[in-house]
Amino acid sequence: MNSVLPKARKIATEAAREAGALARDYFTKDKQIEEKGEDGDLVTIADTLAEEVIISHILDAFPDHAIRSEETGWRGVEGDWLWLVDPLDGTNNYAIGLPVYGVSITLLYRKEPVLGVICDSHLDLLYVAEKGKGAECNGLPISIRRSPSVPKMTVGWIQGHIVGKDKRVLALKHHLEGSFKRVLRLWAPAIQWCMLARGDLDAMVLYNSEGDDLYAGLLLAREAGAVVTDFSGEPFVGMNPEPYLIASHPDHIQELISLVEQGLSAT
């Protein structure tokens, strides 16, 4: 594994930078927006072109690795190594001219993330996390913060497209909004994980949102010092097609678990 990661890190950072620059270039142009699926999701020309750039970089360097990508799905034969690619996380923001979008690239070894690269495309900020080596932004180390108190927290909220307006979800979100200073939903999950990792968000609550944008952010948060558990308080490891997660500074995690349990029991 150690022989793969240095090369993988170089390839992923180069690909993320290039894909991010491409999206920035198209931001004020005709984005050729189309609907994707039945849940209101969108795809643009930048999604497609950025994905081609990233996959080309990966396949040239690692032709025997499998890839799961946002727009084109699976490539290759499943084995020890799997790349997850979201070439334009936050497409709905991008489509309406909201400059909150990014690139997310993850490399997993036996279903455990070992490398995560996220490019905040509009701000040209590159976040990198390698398992056991900490988290950084543009080459400088970053870390989560400890909030003065839970009621003063700004907490990120992420939910999957398929969740919709389920009563259980609405009740939980309402309870959380009454428990914290602010609950923030950006529609760009990878960018929210970056905000947690650099200390601008105090915690994250994720409700059934597994996708190609998840695991780079999880690794970044962990390497920046966050604890990540499921809603029952068990440490989250590996992959899960239906994750329910809480992430925060270790000092706050038990109180956050209790608040989520209270919100769920109110339904």
Q: Is 47 annotated as a binding residue?
A: no
Quote the mean pLDDT of the chain. 95
Residue 253: predicted pLDDT: 98
Which residues, 6+ apart, have CB-to-CB distance to 253 below 8 Å? 227, 229, 233, 246
The reply, when asked if residue 89 is annotated as ligand binding, is yes
Reported in sequence order, the residue ranges of the chain that DSSP labels E, i.e. its strands, are 34-36, 41-43, 66-69, 73-75, 81-89, 102-109, 112-120, 125-130, 135-137, 140-141, 154-159, 182-184, 203-207, 227-230, 244-248
pLDDT at 163: 86
> Is residue 41 over pLDDT 90?
no
Mean pLDDT for the stretch of residues 44-54 = 97
pLDDT at residue 38 in the model: 66
Strand 112-120 to strand 125-130: parallel, antiparallel, or no bridges (unpaired)?
Answer: antiparallel
Q: What is the pLDDT of residue 267?
A: 65
The answer to the question of whether 213 is labelled as a binding residue is yes
pLDDT computed for residue 126 by the predictor? 98
Question: In this predicted model, what pLDDT tens digit does every residue of 122-181 receive, in sequence order?
Answer: 999 999 999 999 999 999 999 999 999 999 999 999 999 888 778 899 999 999 999 999
- Let me know: does 184 contact 158? Beta carbons within 8 Å: no
According to DSSP, residue 92 is labeled: H
- CA–CA separation, 251 vs 254, rounded Å? 8
pLDDT in tens, 254-266: 999 999 999 999 7
pLDDT tens string 180-226 = 999 999 999 999 999 999 999 999 999 999 999 999 999 999 999 99
Between helices 45-61 and 5-26, what is the axis angle to 10°?
Answer: 160
**For 234-253, how does the pLDDT look when each residue is reduced to its tens digit (9 = 90+)?**
999 999 999 999 999 999 99
Q: What is the chain's length? A: 267
> For residue range 96-109, what is the model confidence (pLDDT) as tens digits?
999 999 999 999 99
Q: Tell me the per-residue pLDDT of 215-236, one tens digit each, with 9 for 90 and over.
A: 999 999 999 999 999 999 999 9
> Is 261 assigned to a binding site?
no
Stated pTM of the model: 0.96
Q: What is the pLDDT of residue 66?
A: 98
Of 242, 188, 244, 215, nearest in space to 84 by CA: 215
**Domains identified in the chain and CATH numbers:** 5-141 (3.30.540.10), 150-265 (3.40.190.80)
Give residue 39's pLDDT. Answer: 66
Name the pLDDT band for 23 (thresholds 50, 70, 90): very high
